[in-house]
Structure formats: C-alpha cells, structure tokens
Chain A
Amino acid sequence: MTCEDCRAWLALDEDSAELADHVKGCEECRRFEAGLAADRAVLAAMREPPADAYAAVRARALAEARRGRTRRVWPWVAAAACVLAAVAGVVFRAPLREPVRPEPVLFAVNPPVGWNVVPVAKRRARRKAPAVLSEPLRIEIQTADPNVVVIWLVDREKGTS
C-alpha cells in the first residue's frame, strides 16, 4: 500500500488491518491521520454560532411572516369583494332590464255584417273536453297597435257571437 492510497482510505474513514499496518510503520501517514482527527475535532466544535445571532433572525422572520400572512389575505379579500359586487349588480339591475309590457285593453265587438262565423272548434272541443263547451269560443285578433287586441266570443252551440 502506498502512502497516497493509505491517505485516500483514511480520508474515506476506512479501517482495515492492512491500513493499520501501514500507518503503524509510516510517520507521515500517522501525522496525516492525526491531522484528520484534529480537523474533525475543530469542525465538530464549530456547531454554535454566537448567541446574539439568533434574536435578530427570529424577530425579522416573525415580522416577515406577519407581513406575508397579511399579503396572502388581501388577494382573497379583493376577490371576495369583486364577487360580491358582481352578485349585487346582477341582483339589483336585473328588474330594470325587464321590458315593461302594458296591459292590453280588452273589449268585445260584434263581427261585421255578412260574416259567416263558423264554430270550427265545436266538434273537436266536444270530443276532447266536453266540459268546456259551456264556455264561449274565444278568438283574439292582434291589431297593429300592441295595446289593442280584438276578442271575439262565439257561442259554441249556436255559432253566434
């Protein structure tokens, strides 16, 4: 085993009889091994930063966390406000968009003279719904004026209006 091999194995924390024999007979490798142990001891003693290093970090981390929490809440508040505003707009504006339809004016008139009014629906109505026959046949005529509807009421039995 060469000194180079021996040091490589020592640096890898290897342990073997062959290695021990070499170290026993080689002063330089013994010094290398002792140096490794000393380095390890120094590094192991470096586990503590100064005690006053903590307070500042803790205070800053807590302050940042508080700010971060606030920053995280704001987008949700803004989103909720937008949703509320949208809902309110739909609810309160919806009736305004509904078209205003005037109540039609209803009145009955006699058919013009000479018109032959035939109660076409007489038999059909009798077959399907005899109970309705007692009611007059209702004919609605929509005029050019949307507010005016002409309605004829025709006696189903007699065929007269």
Chain B
Amino acid sequence: MTEDELAGLAESQKTGVLQRAKAGDEAAFRELIDVYQRQVINTAWRMLGRLDDAQDAGQEVFLRLFRSLRKLTSEDAIRPWLYRVTVNVCRSARKRGVREPVAMEETYDPPSGDCGPEEAAETAQRMRWMMRALARLPEKERTALVLREIEGLSTKEVAEILDSSETTVRSQISVARTKLRKMASAEGRE
C-alpha cells in the first residue's frame, strides 16, 4: 500500500470518527477529544498562563465542538476550527476577568528527555522565564506567537485563525520576538 493510500485510509477512518460522533456515538466523541486535547489545552495554557484556567477553557471548547459537530463537514475542518474557538474562549475568559497569568513554578514540570538533570533544570528555568515573558506581551502578539512558535502553524494558518492578514500576523510575531529579546536583555538573560 502506497503512502497516499495509507494517508487516504487514515483520513477515511478519521472521517468515520467524525460521522460517528455526529450520530451521537460517545466513544467517537471521546476519540476526537483524545486527538485534539493537546492542541486545545496547550494553546489555552499559553494564552491564559494558568493550567486550571486552561482546563476550564478546554472543557468549554470541547462542549462547543460537541454542539457544532453537525456544522463540521470534514476532519480537516476540525483543527483550525478548534484553534479559532480556543482563541475566542480564551479572549472571552480574559474579558470576564480570569486571574492574571502567573509563572508556572507551582504547576509546570519540564518535559523529561534524554538530557541530563542539569540540562533539564536549565530548560525548565528557560521555560518558566518564557511563560512570564509571554504573560507580559499584549494579547494579540502573544496569541500570534503562541500559534506560530509553540503550535508550529504557518503564518497563513495563523492569519486565518485570527481572521487577520498575513502581513499583520508577521508584524505581530516580529514585534513579539523583539520584545522578548528586550526583556531578556533587560534581565541579563541573553
């Protein structure tokens, strides 16, 4: 079986999951949550700065997914739709006045990898600093940077999700990167 055939098979299986979820199959809906929960919770976490707020946002996002299953025509539509809804839910949460983002010292565990303990500790420290720095960025710049750099989306995808132009997104990301560098310089972390 060629790679294209395998990709097609995987796609049809995924579409099958969407169709089953639409038909009210709870197991299929659970599968959808399993596939997309990292994307939703991580994006919300980086936007809101608190893991418990991100979990609340994630719950709201998946509930909206459940209510909107009939509108989704294909598996390809789910991913960008979820990013858009996640961003909107997080923005609404900020407007409602969720707590200010905090550093992740109390909740954040660095990913365990092949590196040694010293390197892992250094990585964890850099991530904590980055979370604090992200929290200090304006919301639009932070959102664009999170989607581009953390979620790895293209500038075009970010622009579509944020309903903005690619030029604007590139500018927001550039400004955000420069601000992070200035913060690092000011704190002697170059």
Contacts and interface: CB of A to CB of B under 8 A. Distances in A.
A61 B64 CA distance: 9
A56 to B, nearest CB: 6
A39 interface: yes
Contact of B66 (A8, A31, A47, A68): A68
B81 to A, nearest CB: 16
A77 B180 CA distance: 56
A39 B130 contact: yes
B190 A48 contact: no
Interface in A12-53: 12, 31-32, 35-36, 38-40, 42-50, 53
Interface in A51-86: 53-54, 56-58, 60-62, 64-66, 68-69
A58 B37 CA distance: 8
Nearest to A58: B33
Contacts of B190: 31, 35
Nearest to B61: A61
B63 A61 contact: yes
Nearest to A46: B150
A38 B180 CA distance: 11
A150 to B, nearest CB: 73
Interface residues of B, number: 46
B149 A54 contact: no
B67 A61 contact: no
Contacts of B150: 43-44, 46-47
B96 to A, nearest CB: 18
A57 B32 CA distance: 13
Contacts of B55: 53, 56-57, 60
B73 interface: no
B14 interface: no
B165 interface: no
Interface in B19-38: 24, 26, 29-30, 33-34, 37-38
Contacts, number: 113
A43 to B, nearest CB: 4
Nearest to B180: A39
A42 B126 contact: yes
A50 B174 contact: no
B71 to A, nearest CB: 15
Nearest to B42: A49
B51 A39 contact: no
A38 to B, nearest CB: 8
Nearest to B30: A62
B41 A54 contact: yes
Contacts of A53: 41, 45, 51, 54-55
8 contacts: A11-B173, A31-B190, A40-B149, A42-B126, A46-B42, A58-B37, A61-B62, A62-B33
Interface of B: 24, 26, 29-30, 33-34, 37-38, 40-42, 45-46, 51, 54-55, 58-59, 62-63, 66-67, 107-109, 111, 123, 126-127, 130-131, 145, 149-152, 170, 173-175, 177-178, 180-181, 184, 190
Given A44-B149, A45-B127, 10 more contacts: A8-B178, A11-B181, A31-B190, A45-B123, A47-B38, A50-B107, A61-B33, A61-B62, A62-B29, A66-B26
